[in-house]
Amino acid sequence: MKLSIVIPAYNEAESLSETLSVIFSELMKERIDHEILVINDNSKDDTIAVLEKLCETIPTLRFITNLAPNGFGYAVRKGLENFSGDCVALMMADLSDSPHDLIKYYRAMVEGEFDCVFGSRFIKGGETHDYPMVKKIINRMANLIIRVSFRIKYNDTTNAFKLYKKETIEGIKPFLSPHFNLTIELPLKAIIRGYSYKILPNSWQNRKHGQSKLKIREMGSRYLFILLYCLIEKFFTRGDFRKKW
C-alpha cells in the first residue's frame, strides 16, 4: 500500500528542510513505499527555493503551488486532489507531528484494514509539548462540544494529523472548508458516513520556527458552520451518503 503525505506550507522555509528530511529518513528505514507532496500555498518567503533544493536529495518529494484561492483548507484540498498513493496522511510543515506516529498509523491501517486512522493527543500514550495554554483550553472545549453533539467517544477531532484510505477521501467529498475547519470536516464526514476507524495516541510538539497560521478569533464561526453542516447530514439525510459496503 503506497502512502502519500500531504503537507500544506505557507512561509515555511525555515521548517521544511528538517521536517521533510526526517520524514523521508524514517519512511526509508521502514521501507514504506511513499510520496511526500508539499502544497506551497502561495508563500511569500523562500519556500519554493527550499523545496527545489530538497527535491535534489529527496527523490520521493514533489510540490505543487496553490496560487489562489489561498488558505489552509484550500491547500489541503489541492493535495487531496493530486496525491498518488493508496492512502493519504495530513501532516504539518513545522514537524509538530511525529514521523514515528505516522508509521504507527500506516501499520495499523495495513494490518487492521481500517478506512481511517485518527490520532489523539489526549488519551493514554498521547503527549503534547509546549502547547499554549489558551489554545489547549479552547481545544478541549471544542472537542467536548463535538463529542456530545455527535455522540462519539473520539476526543481529538480537531487534531489535523490523520490517515485516510484513498477510497475514504473519495467517499467524503465534496469538501467545503477553506480554512482550518477542514480538520474537523474530514473525520466527522468519515464517521457519519460509516467508514471504519482506529484511534491511536500521538504526540505533538510546538513549532521551532515561525508562527502558527491558526487564528483563533477568525475560526470560531467557521468551525461552527462545519459542525452544523455535519450535524444536519448526520440527523437529516437518512444515510444517503453512507459508505456502500
Distant-in-sequence, close-in-space partners of 104: CB < 8 Å, separation ≥ 6: 200, 202
- As a whole number, the mean pLDDT across the chain is 93
Instruction: Kindly report the pTM of this predicted structure.
Output: 0.93
CB 40 within 8 A of CB 65: yes
Interatomic CA distance for residues 110 and 100, integer angstroms? 16
pLDDT of amino acid 68: 87
What are the residue ranges spanned by the domains of the chain? 3-236
> Above 60 in pLDDT, residue 38?
yes
Q: 3-236, superfamily in CATH?
A: Spore Coat Polysaccharide Biosynthesis Protein SpsA; Chain A (3.90.550.10)
Q: Which secondary structure element, helix H or strand E, spans residue 201, and what is its range?
A: strand 197-201
pLDDT of amino acid 217: 56
pLDDT digits (tens, 9 = 90+) for 216-238: 555 678 999 999 999 999 999 87
* 63, amino acid identity: F
Distance in angstroms between the alpha carbons of the first and the last residue of the chain: 21
How would you classify residue 198: left for phi > 0, otherwise alpha for psi between -120 and 50, otherwise beta? beta
**Residue 72 burial class via C-beta count within 10 angstroms: exposed 0-12, middle 13-18, buried 19 and up:** buried
Among candidate residues 145, 169, 165, 163, the one with its CA nearest the CA of residue 155: 145
pLDDT of amino acid 240: 86
Interatomic CA distance for residues 221 and 115, integer angstroms? 29
pLDDT of amino acid 243: 87
